[in-house]
Amino acid sequence: MIPSTSKKRPRVPYNRHSTVSTTASLRSTASRSTSLSSTAALIDSFPDKTISETSKKLRRTSSHPLLSTAPSSSTTTTPFNDVNTADVILRLFLDPTAPIINLSDSVYSIDNNNQSNVQIYLHSPILRRSKYFSALLSDRWQHSKENPDSAENKIDQYLIPLKLGVAPGSIEVHLSVLKLLYTIDFNNVINSAAAALDILPVALKLLFDECADYCVKYLEAVPWSEEEEKRVINLIPYLREEESEELLARVSPAKYDSCEEMLHGLILAAIHSSSNMAFVKAFVAKLLRDFSSRESARRVLEMAFETSLKIVKESLEEYSSPNFRGDHNETEAIQRLNLHTAMTNGKHLLWLVERMIELRVADSAVKEWSEQDSFTADLQRAFRDDAWRNIVPGFPAVLLRCTCRLANAVASGTILAARQVRMKLVKDWLPVLIVCKDSAFSSMLPSHKSLYLELEETFLRIISTLPMSDAQVLLQQCLSFSTRNVEDCPHLVTAFNTWFRRATNQPQG
């Protein structure tokens, strides 16, 4: 669930995923005075001699690799960590009570020195680029004037403790952000999504708006890995509404049914693709198989199935019962168009039926296919006319393959169809099979012959599941399945033998 941003919290300090440090809630104006007071109290908790002694000790022991005093390529000539010109001493220390945070190993290496204290010599004009330090330094200045005789005011530097979560590499990230206060070199430092995700929480914590804004803009523009996307989602609540708008738009759907809308568009693109059709259909079929919601896949497939079936039926109706006037050439052109439209959408139907059976969501398709008495009557009239042979010779086979796929799914139990559906499926489509066999008897292709035989066997298997009264009527229509040699139609012999064996049983009850 993606967090709602309808009521945005002010930007708060953030340790990677959900850990937030209370000292950086200065982005909220209401909490600014509280944060500064608590920090001042923390500073005052150090005895005078402890400050000076600790300062000397840290100066001797701080040898972090990022604490270079050499001037960097920056927008200012003020050197980072220069003890000779600094007016602020910033002490970083690991807080044992803070939750562990995980940073990107690919961006920041583990701190080999394993230091728990690092002291940096900084410059207040540079630090004021961070609203956190700007407010803290201002507060400290007022505090100093109120206590002119304190030991701390006898030195020219401030000691500012900054709490960090206990995690290898956390000091490096803070030092990098502090160095960015000097260099403003965002382009070179923030050069990957992982780097932006590591730096952004610290920039938010220190209220370094320029850095935080750059991190957000960088994340808006680059791709993310799955793990990085989770980190982005966890950071969104700590951004202002205008900052998170683009990030939210990428990971949250604009409307509830966007997945189904996308799937439906992909299905239409697959069945209407004119180039690389086989590759596109195979890819969309894989997406449908892998899609998490079977019900969504069912709905979009049923929608496409109904649309294609409607076009086929309307085209056949216009072909079988033309309702236009014109010369012979115009009439023939329109009839050709109707047949080609029916053929094209018949192929779409076949692909859709195969996908529905594969996903076991063809229940509605079987029921719809069994309620086509008017459509099958149009097919019989069309196939008795030889005109279609020279226009769409493969059209009967396409529709019979649809029938065969659905009937096989019913006969095998893949689709559990009601008795009335099973009976109507055979009753409406058996005459179409018979007409197709009769019209193609003299020029039947081997592939068509195997299709007809498979559909005969499947219809006979479904008939065997019906009450004997229904089976009796339908079996009589199957006599056309017989061949010159009785041995060549064992499926028909078996079906009649089964019916007669049952007929000789004594009535039960």
Where is pLDDT greater, at 29 or 148?
148
Least confident of 8-17, 82-91, 371-380, 477-486: 8-17
Beta strands in 81-116 (DSSP E): 88-95
pLDDT(188) > 70: yes
Where is pLDDT greater, at 322 or 261?
261
The secondary structure element, H or E, covering residue 66 is: none
**DSSP characters over 373-428:** HHHHHHHHHHHHSGGGGGT-TTHHHHHHHHHHHHHHHHHTTSS---HHHHHHHHHH
Predicted confidence at residue 15, as pLDDT, reads 40
**CA 104 – CA 168 distance, rounded (Å):** 10
Bridge partner residues of 90 (DSSP): 120, 160
Q: How large is the average pLDDT for residues 354-372?
A: 96
SS3 category, 182: helix
Predicted confidence at residue 300, as pLDDT, reads 94
pLDDT(10) > 70: no
pLDDT band at 235 (very low <50, low <70, confident <90, very high): very high
Predicted confidence at residue 345, as pLDDT, reads 95
> Using an 8 Å Cβ cutoff, are 203 and 177 in contact?
yes
Provide the CA 466 distance to its chain's centre, in angstroms.
Answer: 45
**CA 463 – CA 455 distance, rounded (Å):** 12
Half-sphere exposure of 100 (CA within 13 A, CB side): 3
Bridge partner residues of 89 (DSSP): 121, 159
Which structure tokens are listed for 465?
């599941």
| φ, ψ dihedrals at 172, nearest 5° | -60, -40
Which structure tokens are listed for 276?
């690389």
pLDDT band at 52 (very low <50, low <70, confident <90, very high): very low
pLDDT band at 174 (very low <50, low <70, confident <90, very high): confident
Least confident of 163-172, 214-223, 255-264, 377-386: 163-172
Write down the mean pLDDT value for the chain: 77
Where is pLDDT greater, at 225 or 24?
225
**CA 15 – CA 201 distance, rounded (Å):** 6
pTM of the entire predicted model: 0.65
Q: At what angle do helices 373-384 and 294-320 cross, to 10 degrees?
A: 50
Predicted confidence at residue 120, as pLDDT, reads 85
pLDDT digits (tens, 9 = 90+) for 262-305: 999 999 999 887 667 888 999 999 999 999 889 999 999 999 99
Q: How large is the average pLDDT for residues 467-496?
A: 86
**Highest mean pLDDT, choosing among 409-418, 434-443, 447-456:** 409-418
- The DSSP letter of residue 70 is S
Q: How large is the average pLDDT for residues 123-152?
A: 70
Q: How large is the average pLDDT for residues 329-357?
A: 91
Predicted confidence at residue 169, as pLDDT, reads 61
The secondary structure element, H or E, covering residue 102 is: none
**CA 319 – CA 313 distance, rounded (Å):** 10
Predicted confidence at residue 37, as pLDDT, reads 39
Bridge partner residues of 159 (DSSP): 89
Predicted confidence at residue 48, as pLDDT, reads 35
**CA 38 – CA 21 distance, rounded (Å):** 12
pLDDT(142) > 60: no
Predicted confidence at residue 472, as pLDDT, reads 94
CA angle at 226 for the pair 223 and 227, rounded to the nearest 5°: 110
Where is pLDDT greater, at 73 or 333?
333
pLDDT band at 417 (very low <50, low <70, confident <90, very high): very high
SS3 category, 286: helix
Predicted confidence at residue 507, as pLDDT, reads 73
**CA 167 – CA 393 distance, rounded (Å):** 73
Which structure tokens are listed for 314?
């309307």
